[in-house]
Amino acid sequence: MSTKMQSRTTAAYFVQAVISFALATAALAAGIAYLPVDSWMRGFLAVGLLYEITSAFTLAKVIRDRQEADELTTRVDQARLDKLLAEHDPFRIEGA
């Protein structure tokens, strides 16, 4: 029995998120590049930008993984409950 996970986002929402991320990153990188400061300060800010981006991706993955684990636990618990209810006979007399 194969259950395919349905996507919760539309293609348009996905494209909007990618474009938004790209524009925000490009704008911040351009802002850092054109700051009237020394190159070592620009480098420091650029490293900070990269760290922020990788941290955001890591956080999103951890949140997604936790949600998927919770969904799996819920499905296993539901399957156990369904099995117990299917096996339960309210009219069965114990010991007979």
Q: State the burial class of residue 10 (Cβ atoms within 10 Å of its Cβ: 0-12, 13-18, 19+).
A: exposed
Phi, psi angle pair for 91, to nearest 5°: -100, 0
User: What is the number of residues in the chain?
Assistant: 96
Q: Which residues contact 9 (CB under 8 A, 6 or more apart)?
A: 17
- Amino acid, single-letter form, for residue 39: S
pLDDT in tens, the chain (96 residues): 445 556 678 999 989 999 999 999 999 999 999 999 999 999 999 999 999 999 999 999 999 988 888 887 888 788 888 888 787 777 777 765
Cβ–Cβ < 8 Å for 49, 32: yes
Q: Tokens 């890591």 identify what position?
A: 58
